[in-house]
Amino acid sequence: MRIVEVTDRKSLIDFIRVPWRIFKGDDNWVPPIVADMLTTLNKRKNPFFNHADAAFFIAYDDSERPIGRIAAVYDRLHFKYRGENVGYFGYFDAIEDVDVAKALLEKAEEWVRGRGAVFIRGPIDLSMNNTCGLLIEGFDDPPVFMMPYNKPYYQFLIEENGYVKAKDLLAYWVDLYYDEKPKQLVRYVEKLVSKIKNIRARYANLRKFREELDRFKEVYNDAWMDNWGFVPLTDEEIEFMAKRMKPLVVSKLAVFAETLGGEPVGVALAMPDYNFVFKRMKGSLFPFGIIKFFLYRNQIPRIRLMVLGVKKAYRLKGIEFLMLGKMYEYAMKKGYTGAEFSWILEDNEPIKAIIERFGGKVYKKYRIYEKKIR
């Protein structure tokens, strides 16, 4: 076995394609879009790398077949905002072999230690603003859009190498069609509107995308600042993410709450579960992937609520319910049958209470691990 660092486009493609071997025959695995991954991991294109360093490693067996991969990341902004001298490991995949996992994890530990990290945390794919966490419960269903998936044995591989739980992340499922609680929410929202007369909920206006993006950033960086592990997105990162996400955003699944004076105070963003389409695209846009995208995008049966937040100064007023009620109206008209709310920090009791009142039940659990390395 040997561990090789990615140094060029060809080896980066090899890194991206490692999961094709690991998950071969696994019906729940959804191949990522290779072109999108190439952009995300391109240090010249992704502004995340303006404040972070990363290295990508591939493990090969004696027959030169890929048997694992890992990314090592050191984000200088994490130290600035959180005061933690921590490195990350992410994009971790491996065959069911403790020695392979050990070699990969030790390589990541060595790399972040060389940047001054005292401990390492993961799986985190670049940052917690991206995909993160190891699936430890809920293997029966495929992952939704932008949520991780792994084999059950990954938990053993990581824990066997000295990693312990840092935090669990939860995914809730809401049955929009059969459950009565979402329907009851509509009646509750009608009463709420009369009580919160100075706040209104509205759908996003994608024709004014630039202005809406500024509103999103204002709320997002305020509402999430106190969350465990959160590092604010820079202007460049928001622009980068928005450019890639804009073609996928559905305006009536993006809801702002704002004062009558126009101040944005809350945001809720859901996305159709594009994994329903991406699975059929098999990681490729051309020649047929893009055709499949437009063919199947209107058949997506479920959504993922990715963002639900209110500025700290406006909490405990029921504003989250105003936004959820607005979104629910459209979701029912569109015919979506279910929604995943993810991910939610295990100790974020206020948001958990809101989701549970909406009918949500925990059906998947993810774990972020950490290990002291110095």
What mean pLDDT is predicted for residues 151-160?
Answer: 98
Window from 165-174, 233-242, 267-276 with minimum mean pLDDT: 233-242
Phi/psi for 103 (5° steps) reads: -65, -40
| Structure token pair of residue 187 | 């009646």
Q: Which position has the higher pLDDT, 104 or 206?
A: 104
| Structure token pair of residue 249 | 């955003």
Window from 69-78, 303-312, 320-329, 342-351 with minimum mean pLDDT: 320-329
Query: For residue 184, what is the enclosing H or E element?
Result: helix 180-195
pLDDT of 329 strictly over 80: yes
Let me know: does 343 contact 169? Beta carbons within 8 Å.
Answer: yes
Peptide bond into 343 cis (omega under 30): yes
Query: In the CATH hierarchy, which fold is given to the domain comprising 2-168?
Result: Aminopeptidase (3.40.630)
**Residue 114: what pLDDT?**
96
pLDDT tens digits, 194-230:
678 789 999 999 999 989 999 999 999 999 988 998 9
Window from 148-157, 181-190, 279-288, 351-360 with minimum mean pLDDT: 181-190
Window from 53-57, 105-109, 173-177 with minimum mean pLDDT: 173-177
Shortest CA distance to 310 belongs to which of 226, 224, 214, 209? Answer: 224
**Positions of CATH 3.40.630.30 in the chain:** 2-168, 173-366
Let me know: does 307 contact 267? Beta carbons within 8 Å.
Answer: yes
Let me know: does 89 contact 108? Beta carbons within 8 Å.
Answer: yes
pLDDT of 311 strictly over 70: yes
Q: pTM score, two decimals?
A: 0.93
Instruction: Report the CATH architecture of 173-366.
Output: 3-Layer(aba) Sandwich (3.40)
Q: Mean pLDDT over all residues of the chain?
A: 93
